[in-house]
Amino acid sequence: MEPMEIALQEARDAAARGEVPVGAVVLGPDGAVLARAGNRVEATHDASAHAEILALREAAAARGSARLFDCDLVVTLEPCPMCAQAISFFRIRRLVFGAYDPKGGGVEHGARVFDASSCHHRPEVVGGIRETEAAALLKAFFADRRTS
């Protein structure tokens, strides 16, 4: 299964749990999945339990290192500023994301964390991968919330 499909499945699973449907996957240098996660903010009562943070923590623990220099992160939504800063701190090699987030994004929108002079590490960034599908998950989730 390709990495963005795994992330999308994590997002679908998150939605089924009542979480905002965002999924993330960390890939090792050989492309193997080191960690995968979906949002768990509501389940853990933890505003930092975004899919990216959870997957990065799991991958770092598995590798025994706080730095993931040779790893890639695939996520269904443009990371928020908190997650973008974490991506920088974990020293991710490449960030691949699906849907753009004009309101809450921190990479191509909003804070543009990687462009700040205070940013210590900027990964390669590739956005818009399976964007339509990733955005549709989010739109459907929030549409259901508004009609409930």
User: Any idea which residues carry the catalytic annotation?
Assistant: 52
3-state secondary structure of 116: coil
Closest listed residue to residue 42, CA positions, set 146, 145, 129, 148: 145
Question: Residue with structure tokens 């960030």?
Answer: 95
Lookup: tokens for 92: 């991710």
d(CA 107, CA 98): 12
Q: Which secondary-structure segment (H or E) carries 27?
A: strand 23-27
Q: Are 126 and 96 in contact (CB under 8 A)?
A: yes
